[in-house]
Structure formats: structure tokens, C-alpha cells
Structure 1
């Protein structure tokens, strides 16, 4: 009897210990999140910030001016090339034959022209001695002029054939790096088809779309600050070099180009950037300011994750759709969806789901 009681007690202790370990493991597996309280936007002027995309400062898409079959591409993506270096060639056999044919015709006609010229000179001398008639002189002159006209026409054909033959080769227009190779050996291509994309050694640019309410306050030559999501620890100075005068077709925004003031290998085409413009605009009354990384967007619109905290330093997430206002250098204004004091997730938002239990990190961690 005592043995049975002892065994039962041991089993109860083991079960209790297992449950405790499981609960502890579940707590350890909770995803940690950083958070902050929502604060109202203070009154005053706010610099404006708009998203942009990095693009090469100097880029050229190289193509052939004649049709043909790719014979050679002696470069690969990432290769550094120098101005004048061979980039690609076509099979120039047909163009070479065409040149040889018209050149042979020209040589024959030039040989004939020598005889025609000699005959014309002879008739002129005889005419001066009144041995031949005016009609004979006119006939000799017409033959000579016709031959010379034919020579000029054939010379143009030779020049054209030489030009077309030269078009079977592409060379680098400047020092740079091969960004893309779009064809393979023995592939047939048409004139203008993109063969190789070459990026030059120039400071990168950032393309930004500016709304009509702000474009009048922006001018070429203005200095801006540029931050990249992939290079969070650094801010790059830039200068506005181009301000578009026509809106894009789908929105009332104007294209603006920023040229960065330093050349760096850290920035690659397609990188997403935030550009801070020295354009002060009044804060939106009743808006709240949140970090830009706290706001996500999907097919249902923009949203943040609000936290419902518990007493054990955990919380449950709640997806909240929001309306955004201005983009500033301190974050994004939220005009609808939040209240002052709400706690929102500010880091790792892309790994969070609605109604997920998470562990709250100390804001000092």
C-alpha cells in the first residue's frame, strides 16, 4: 500500500515537473519585440521625407545597329572594362562579303572611268581642231559624267558597307562595370536589342517622386540627406540635380533626381532610400508620430501592430489599420487608427502576426 502511494507521488512530481518545463520552454520561444508608446506630434515645422530608389549615376544599355548572330561576348557580369574595350561582336561574314562585292564593282568602274576620261580628253582636242562635231563632244562628255556619277554612287555603297561592317562590334563608351549581359553566343539579335548594360564610375543617384503640394518648394541645387534601409548606420549627403516639370501618368507626383556626394560600393541600384528634404511644413493637428519601420503595408492597406500587455512582460499583438500623414525626418505621422499612449511594435514587424503572443524587451536592451 505504501509502495503504491510512493509511486503515485513520484509520478505526480514528474508530471508537474514536465508541465513546468513545457511552460518554461513556451515562454522562452516567445518572439521578443521592441516597442514604444505612441506620442502626439508636437506643434511646429517638420522637414519632409519621401521614399526613393537608388539608380546608377551613369548607365548605358549597349546594342547593335545591325541584325546578326552573336559571335563573341568576352565579358561577364561584374567585369571592369575600359573605354574602347571590346564588349561583343556579331558574325560579320555577310557584311564582309557585301563590302567586297561593292568594292570590286567600284574598282572595275574606276578602271573603266580612266578610259572614258581619256576618250573625253581626246574628243575635246579634236573638237578644238574642228575635226569632230559638237554632238560628238556632247556624247563624250555625257559618257564621262555618267561614269563619274556611277562611281560616286558606288563609293557611297562602299562607305555604307564599311559602316555596317563596323556596326558588328560593340566597344565600351566609357570606363565602367558590366551590370548585365542579356544574350548568349550564336543568338540572333535585331538592331536595338539590349546586349550589355554598362555602369560608369559616377556617384549613384536616387529617384524620388514628389507630390504636387511640395514640388514648388524644391529646386535644383538644394541639399538633402539620404538614408538607406540596408545601410542604417550612415546618412549620405546629396544634391538635387533634376526636378521634373511633368507629372507621372498614374499619380500627381513629379520625378526628382538626387545625386549623392560620394561614390561608394555600399549602394547598389534598386536599394530603397528615405530622402529628407529641407522643406518645412506644419505638423498635422491631432496626428501621432511613429517610427517609419513600424508601419507595414499589404493589399489591405497600411497597418501597425498594437500591443495588449500582460503582467508577465508578455503581450498579444493586434493588427490596426492606420491612415498616414506626412513623412518626416523623425518618422511617419499617423492621422487615424491610434490613440496617444498605445504601445506598438517598432522592430521585427515583418515577423509578427495578428494575435501573436510575444515577449516585451526592455526598451533599454
Structure 2
């Protein structure tokens, strides 16, 4: 080998060594991270609300007269049918008042009959010019007075009959009897609470939707079109029946900035009682949803970002708009599309414009 060839070989060797020195440093700066391909799929989105459950109808049964409770026909917690007797208040005094009222009514009817006969007689005499006109007018006035007294007596009799009817309290609808605070022999007044009756074959679960959520659902035409409404009872178990969303209140509550809705649940076995609490889970299907893991995102000043990977494996910090969280993922509303590659995890170690090496493609 001549000197010229030797020099060329040495130069090539030094160049190779130099390149080998630089490449490891370059590879060392290129991070190896997993990436995720954004895909679309139908997703069930759920929202939970605290609920206050009330009977379909819940009314207070109160006394409408003063008196002593003579009979109680039902027990606390008993199911009763519409029209069934619940309480009887002693009506002995009212029965005596009824006898008096009937006697007065009969007397006024007799007086009315007499006044009618007298008027016919005077009318006949007046026609023959045997009595003066003022006497005829006086007979007519006596008849009108007798009629008024008869009507008044009849009204008094009906009032006593109505008071007697008030002594028997019956169920206004099918329902379950609540606590009975007064026992037989107790003196009650007009308006005294005797018990509460709850119609429990169906119950309403009330909950509130924030004002912004209400208009969001209204704009997307999803209000009332939910796939499933479930109820979680206070012991953590799921109620066996699903509910049906019913109409909202007519106005926004200014104090809370929300609007109230109700969900109707069947309750054939009367398991759920008036005043029960629970949680509602309202779910609907989001077609072609974009879901990404929460660990693929990071936040800067209340904005959510991901690292988008281009075809040259260069990352770009991209702002996205996220919707509700579903377990450990976010529903993405805008900012990325189907087929995009994003950094799956390890975004904290990257900065905008970095080159990466794909470790895994998920």
C-alpha cells in the first residue's frame, strides 16, 4: 500500500468514527413514545344527578269539623282503596241538630202552603173587587217571605247533613296510610291532621339540570330522547325498573341557575316510599364518538391540549375541546379527527416541534 492510499484509508476511518459519535447523540435526543390512532365508535354517555323521590300523589287527610274520633278503620302502613272508610268522628250532636233543622224545614213548608192558599183566596176576591189592591199585594209579600224562610230552612238542613257527612273520612284515592297521630277518643278540631295518604303505584324522581346543560340538550335535540334512565337507591342497589322523563318546570330557578325535571318510575310493590333519596343515571348513545384517554391530554390555562403526530413523526401541540369524561377517557368535540395520530402517554416530556420515534401504535 502506498502512502496516498494509506492516508485515504485513515481519513475514511476517522470520518466513520466521527459519524458514529454524532449519531448516538442524535438518537438519544429522539424520544421513543407510544402513539394512538384516533378512532370513532358508538359510545354510551351517562350523567348522574341527585334526586328527591316523591309519591305520585301525597295528601294530608285532615278533619273538617270539631269532634271526638269515634272509630279508626285502618292501620298505619295499610294499603287502602278509593272510597274506603278511614275515620269516623262522633256525630251525636249533629244528629240532634239535624232533627231540629228538619223540624224547622217542615214548619216553613207548612207556612209556605198556608201563604199559597191565602194568596189564591185573596186573588179571587180581588178579581171580584171585594178586597183592595194593597191587601192583595200584602198577600203576595207574605208568600214571598214564606218561600224565603222555607229556602233558608232547607239550606240549614243541608248544611247539617254536610257536617254529618264530614264525620266519615274516606280515602280520596288508592294509597298507603302514613302515621296516625291521634287515637280513638281524641278530640280534634277543624283542620287537625289525621294522617297522610300516598299513592305509590308510581313515583316521581325530581332532579335539576344546570341552565347551560338544559340549552345544550335542547339545541342538540336530545332532551327527552335518552336511551335509559336508571335509579340507584340509598343502599347502592339499582332499582329494577327504568324511568321515563317527564316535562320540566316552566321557569329557570334564579337562585340555583337550574331547571327542574322529573322521572316517572313504576312502583307496583310500593318498595319506594315518599321522601326517598337516590341517584339518577341518564344515558344516551353518542354515535361515531371520538374518545381519547385522559392521560393523552394536558392542560394549560384551563385549555386542553394533545400532541398531534404528523407523517414525519414530528409532534404539534394542538388545542382540543372535550366534552364529558367517561371513565378514564374524554369525549372530544373538536380539534382532532378520525385517523389522526396522537401521543398516547409521555406528553409531559415533549415540547412542540419535537421529533419522536414510535414505540407502539395503539
The TM-score normalised by the length of structure 1 is 0.59
**1:328 positional shift:** 7.3
**1:262 positional shift:** 5.4
**1:212 positional shift:** 2.1
Which position in structure 2 is the counterpart of 1:151?
Answer: 150
Take 1:137 and 1:234, find their aligned partners in 2: how far apart are those partners? Answer: 82
User: Residues 90 and 167 of structure 2 are in contact (CA less than 8 Å); yes or no, is this contact kept in structure 1?
Assistant: yes
1:118-267 aligned at under 5 Å gives the runs 118-216=117-215, 217=217, 219=223, 222=226, 224-230=229-235, 232-234=237-239, 236-248=241-253, 251-261=256-266, 263-267=268-272
Which position in structure 2 is the counterpart of 1:47?
Answer: 46
**Structure 1 residues 75, 239: closer, same or farther in 2, change over 3 A?**
same
Take 1:99 and 1:248, find their aligned partners in 2: how far apart are those partners? Answer: 52
| CA deviations over 1:302-357 (Å, ceiling 9, x no partner) | xxxxxxxxxxxxxxxxxxxxxxxx997859x9xxxxxxxxxxxxxxxxxxxxxxxx
1:1-365 aligned at under 5 Å gives the runs 46-216=45-215, 217=217, 219=223, 222=226, 224-230=229-235, 232-234=237-239, 236-248=241-253, 251-261=256-266, 263-278=268-283
Q: Which runs of 5+ in 1 are unaligned?
A: 1-43, 289-325, 334-365
> 1:49 aligns to what SS in structure 2?
strand
Q: Which has the larger radius of gyration?
A: 2
**1:104 positional shift:** 1.5
**Structure 1 residues 152, 123: closer, same or farther in 2, change over 3 A?**
same
Take 1:71 and 1:226, find their aligned partners in 2: how far apart are those partners? Answer: 43
Q: How many residues align?
A: 253
> 1:243 aligns to what SS in structure 2?
coil
Take 1:328 and 1:170, find their aligned partners in 2: how far apart are those partners? Answer: 54
Take 1:195 and 1:114, find their aligned partners in 2: how far apart are those partners? Answer: 46
User: Residues 62 and 192 of structure 2 are in contact (CA less than 8 Å); yes or no, is this contact kept in structure 1?
Assistant: yes
**Structure 1 residues 45, 82: closer, same or farther in 2, change over 3 A?**
closer
**1:233 positional shift:** 5.0
Which position in structure 2 is the counterpart of 1:40?
Answer: none
User: Residues 59 and 198 of structure 1 are in contact (CA less than 8 Å); yes or no, is this contact kept in structure 2?
Assistant: yes
> 1:58 aligns to what SS in structure 2?
strand
**1:126 positional shift:** 1.1
**Structure 1 residues 144, 83: closer, same or farther in 2, change over 3 A?**
same
> RMSD between aligned alpha carbons?
3.5
**Structure 1 residues 104, 248: closer, same or farther in 2, change over 3 A?**
farther
> 1:184 aligns to what SS in structure 2?
coil
Take 1:200 and 1:153, find their aligned partners in 2: how far apart are those partners? Answer: 41
> 2:182 aligns to what SS in structure 1?
coil
User: Residues 47 and 278 of structure 1 are in contact (CA less than 8 Å); yes or no, is this contact kept in structure 2?
Assistant: yes
User: Residues 69 and 188 of structure 2 are in contact (CA less than 8 Å); yes or no, is this contact kept in structure 1?
Assistant: yes
> 2:245 aligns to what SS in structure 1?
strand
Take 1:247 and 1:90, find their aligned partners in 2: how far apart are those partners? Answer: 45
**Structure 1 residues 329, 66: closer, same or farther in 2, change over 3 A?**
farther
**Structure 1 residues 174, 149: closer, same or farther in 2, change over 3 A?**
same
**1:221 positional shift:** 6.9
